[in-house]
Structure 1
């Protein structure tokens, strides 16, 4: 019987990994790259003094939560100096990747307050002084929350989202709010307010989305941690294309209160970080019961500290280098290969270089090779690989689980609680203050969405369909004796800016509501484009996913710092197509 099968029957246990004790608690000390920083920050109240260097103290390049705490505890740097380092990197490097919508003008003051509290009584929490970037659909009471749209540029919530409050109470310093695919309605990383976000590994390529700004910023070392939200891939896809660890948790583990909705049936927030360790530390701070989001009453009972179903009091207790030893991984073969639409299939092209089918097959082959290499590493670490061709009746199950659009109903309900010029989707559509890429979908939602959709038979059937899909997936896993399913996060590499992004395998986790984690698998051979491998687990079995991802990460060390985003002083790398602009409905014929 597999490890997860035993845990599903509430008989399983899992070994824990002890870290190094400090004033900040038990944390993992991972070796990170060290470099040099300099260059003064322009604006936001920073001094013009040079940033810290490897000789002077803290280095922000590839820094972890543990590195931040080491620097503070040793006296090498204060929280304010660390935050200043990252603000300097944003000032220099975001010119190239366009990941940030707004810098928090209070970040340095908040960091200074944390320094005073540290001097008086020690750290305020497990994330004391850690720079954090928020996706700009996370409510902040001290800054607008825009959803990446000109129509919400000045939208002001009354208070912080539940997860933002939790992270701040744990000690995080919000340094900025990140761009996103507008209204979180896609994966091409563009918005009318923030423009086009670029992939730090290839500036002419897509970082994916919708949590595009968070992913690009973390990949370029503009902060230590970041929040994503995931309706269908929006945490996992940018993590895959940013060589990051990103988790879509089980619905109910993390509160959705104060997050601008796309579809509450599938929406969830998730942690994003450069290491699995940091992602796990962040997850501990994000989970918990929130009366404003009733499903968290169930999720609260599944947090390690609140259940005897699994061992350990923290998600970091599952950071076990041997977690892959004996783990059964079901490789879902149907999720590999090219994603080809009907128009491309009908193309009669003589030149192979112009044949979209041949191009798609070549792209998918590169991704398959990278993911296969990652799976081979997992096997070397003791995992048992089980080949699974497909999920029986998968297309029918997905169709049954797909709900009618609830976007208009959910967005209108959200807008009632914030101060925004446009108070409904209808008013937003009338304003034309959104990107051309979202014009058709926004107008369609406004015209066709049923405000009473949740009272319809179609909606009721979709709820039952999600349960049926979840049961089918878990049933298959139990039948085949596997702990997790594995597949490419996207079966194609990052698309060029301005092109659609094929290959997302987001909907298995999104519609089954089962947890999934994306981690770096490696890079394509020709252009060194980042690729992610995704693992999906049983309901509320995030510990197994974290353990497997950590063990793989420690063995493979798959993450590389993107070229051109190293230590300061430096200049931002040159953008290949600097004149590319996102069309705005109010200004363009769309």
Structure 2
């Protein structure tokens, strides 16, 4: 597919250092390289944390330029199998060199010189396409606030990741991980399986070691599902912890950005940096101690009370087995487990969520487009017409029913019916979580994150038969959740487990997630199988 990008960005198949397009690599050779080539100067970057990388750079084993070159080369050679990266940043090596010079005076923190990939609905250096050709000409005037925070911490912006176009709010059914700009992202464990979405590229890129860390966004499941299905850690923060300014919206009532990383340490480091009060986002609020790295203690499970939302697994034997293994780990490490708990009113809240989202999307995307410079449609009606005019690319596999349903709403956030639906959905979800935690004196609730990845089909869309998902209560409530690798379906496809809790309980959830991770050491690197035997 031929893409038109801003002059400041290069397609992912281009090697930034020399601006030369890589020669095609045989798929089998690429698969072999993907599995073995994650070591830089004796440090296995698949297993290393950003703290390990900091120590290596401080010791002179490699520098940020070398680390950045490593990831750019890996994107060039491995990403043709995955289609996880939409574009690389031609300024990445310059940013890395600046970080190396700055390091002589002392690193600014755990992300100094660390290459980061961002979901391409997050504005950086004048780019945020949301995967749509309609926004290729958009030129956001400022970096997203979270990107400003990353730069201030010394991180290197490596590039942009693919996503489910418009955060998967254009059509149903659709194929998660597909966008007109980036094509279909593939699961790195089994390439014909789906990566889930909408932060598909971020989850895949983290799993495949295409960057040290990645950032995605979630409205409902778009961080935790791709994290779980791609065998990585994902944190969906409390609404208001991370600014939404500079992020292409779906619904400002539920949208938030968060990290997807190979380990809890890295997720804690990223979240510590990207959180903060932003005058451009009135939802952001001041808080207390938010250096989440301080929460990382291997013994943090001792004395905790953790409830289990077991019924969310349905009758899926592999998911139930993963949940049983997680419960055994928690108990072995000193936690008290309260099993077979139920959340109340989840179905009613979920029914109210969708009509609220359609009104919010029309309002929020119209406001975003009106405020964004560049050549692009100026409102949702314009996006719908753009897609019709470019049907051979944008509507090649599925339509835009959700766009049309949203356009049919008033888009008025003062509408009585809309406000009643949103307020009831939010209050039901918050009460469901808060009352359960209070009644059972819980520190967190454990639930399955996902079932095994389904076969990708661009014509049929996602296969949600017996789909396991637990993201909705936290998403509607605006409460945090962390997913951590918990097991495997068919011994290959990753299964995650989620810990969620009340508002601004990130520190507790990170502590629990880290201790669980250290106790189980479940994650295995991707296998890059073409299909299951």
| SS of the residue 1:247 aligns to | strand
Deviation at 1:43, TM superposition (A): 2.6
Deviations 1:112-158 (A, max 9, x none): 11112223x12233310001000000011x24211011111232111
Aligned equivalent of 2:155, options 151, 167, 172: 172
| SS of the residue 2:249 aligns to | coil
Q: 1:54 to 1:561 in 2, by over 3 A?
A: closer
Deviation at 1:436, TM superposition (A): 4.5
Q: 1:560: which partner in 2?
A: 524
Aligned equivalent of 1:154, options 137, 158, 172: 137
| SS of the residue 1:304 aligns to | coil
- Alignment of 1:375 with 2:327, yes or no, is yes
- Alignment of 1:74 with 2:59, yes or no, is yes
Q: 1:385: which partner in 2?
A: 337
Deviation at 1:448, TM superposition (A): 1.0
| SS of the residue 2:210 aligns to | coil
Contact 1:429 1:446 in 2 (8 A): no
Q: 2:362: which partner in 1?
A: 408
Q: Provide the C-alpha distance between the structure 2 equivalents of 1:258 and 1:523, rounded to a whole number of angstroms.
A: 36
Q: Provide the C-alpha distance between the structure 1 equivalents of 2:262 and 2:365, rounded to a whole number of angstroms.
A: 32
Q: Provide the C-alpha distance between the structure 1 equivalents of 2:150 and 2:281, rounded to a whole number of angstroms.
A: 17
Q: 2:113: which partner in 1?
A: 129
Deviation at 1:388, TM superposition (A): 3.2
Q: 1:175 to 1:393 in 2, by over 3 A?
A: closer
Counterparts of 1:15-34 in structure 2 under 5 Å? none
Contact 1:162 1:255 in 2 (8 A): yes
Q: Provide the C-alpha distance between the structure 1 equivalents of 2:206 and 2:213, rounded to a whole number of angstroms.
A: 7
- Alignment of 1:428 with 2:378, yes or no, is no
Contact 1:60 1:82 in 2 (8 A): no
Q: 2:280: which partner in 1?
A: 292
TM-score by length of 1: 0.78
Q: 1:438 to 1:72 in 2, by over 3 A?
A: same
Q: 1:42 to 1:159 in 2, by over 3 A?
A: closer
Q: Provide the C-alpha distance between the structure 2 equivalents of 1:222 and 1:445, rounded to a whole number of angstroms.
A: 37
Q: Provide the C-alpha distance between the structure 1 equivalents of 2:353 and 2:252, rounded to a whole number of angstroms.
A: 14
Deviation at 1:316, TM superposition (A): 1.1
Contact 2:345 2:432 in 1 (8 A): no
Q: Provide the C-alpha distance between the structure 2 equivalents of 1:54 and 1:279, rounded to a whole number of angstroms.
A: 21
Q: 1:348: which partner in 2?
A: none
Deviation at 1:280, TM superposition (A): 0.6
Q: Provide the C-alpha distance between the structure 1 equivalents of 2:477 and 2:322, rounded to a whole number of angstroms.
A: 26
- Alignment of 1:550 with 2:514, yes or no, is yes
Q: Provide the C-alpha distance between the structure 1 equivalents of 2:481 and 2:41, rounded to a whole number of angstroms.
A: 40
Q: Provide the C-alpha distance between the structure 2 equivalents of 1:390 and 1:437, rounded to a whole number of angstroms.
A: 38
Q: 1:522 to 1:53 in 2, by over 3 A?
A: closer
Q: 1:462: which partner in 2?
A: 422
Aligned equivalent of 2:447, options 477, 481, 487: 487
Contact 1:180 1:191 in 2 (8 A): yes
Deviation at 1:245, TM superposition (A): 1.0
| SS of the residue 1:439 aligns to | coil
Greater Cα offset, 56-65 or 317-326: 56-65
Q: 2:165: which partner in 1?
A: 182
Q: Provide the C-alpha distance between the structure 1 equivalents of 2:297 and 2:270, rounded to a whole number of angstroms.
A: 17
Contact 1:60 1:86 in 2 (8 A): no
Deviation at 1:410, TM superposition (A): 0.8
Q: 1:448: which partner in 2?
A: 408
Q: What is the aligned residue count?
A: 486
Contact 1:407 1:445 in 2 (8 A): no
Q: Provide the C-alpha distance between the structure 1 equivalents of 2:519 and 2:406, rounded to a whole number of angstroms.
A: 50
Q: Provide the C-alpha distance between the structure 2 equivalents of 1:438 and 1:446, rounded to a whole number of angstroms.
A: 17
Deviation at 1:430, TM superposition (A): 0.8
Deviations 1:70-127 (A, max 9, x none): 22111111110110000010000000010011011110111011112223x1223331
Deviation at 1:400, TM superposition (A): 4.6
Gaps of 5+ in 1: 1-40, 306-313, 339-363, 565-572, 578-590
Gaps of 5+ in 2: 1-12, 21-35, 170-174
Deviation at 1:485, TM superposition (A): 1.0
Deviation at 1:533, TM superposition (A): 0.3
Q: Provide the C-alpha distance between the structure 1 equivalents of 2:245 and 2:163, rounded to a whole number of angstroms.
A: 19
Deviation at 1:444, TM superposition (A): 1.7
- Alignment of 1:512 with 2:474, yes or no, is no
Contact 1:484 1:537 in 2 (8 A): yes
Counterparts of 1:223-238 in structure 2 under 5 Å? 223-238=211-226
- Alignment of 1:521 with 2:498, yes or no, is no
Aligned equivalent of 2:259, options 271, 277, 284: 271
Q: Provide the C-alpha distance between the structure 1 equivalents of 2:38 and 2:50, rounded to a whole number of angstroms.
A: 18
Q: Provide the C-alpha distance between the structure 2 equivalents of 1:53 and 1:337, rounded to a whole number of angstroms.
A: 37
Deviations 1:442-487 (A, max 9, x none): 4423541212144333324422431232023211221122221111
Q: Provide the C-alpha distance between the structure 2 equivalents of 1:443 and 1:267, rounded to a whole number of angstroms.
A: 17
Deviations 1:401-455 (A, max 9, x none): 5525111211111111222322222112112242445523344235412121443
Q: Provide the C-alpha distance between the structure 2 equivalents of 1:439 and 1:369, rounded to a whole number of angstroms.
A: 38
Q: 1:277 to 1:101 in 2, by over 3 A?
A: same
TM-score by length of 2: 0.86
Deviations 1:20-42 (A, max 9, x none): xxxxxxxxxxxxxxxxxxxxx96
Aligned equivalent of 1:100, options 79, 85, 89: 85
Q: 1:211: which partner in 2?
A: 199
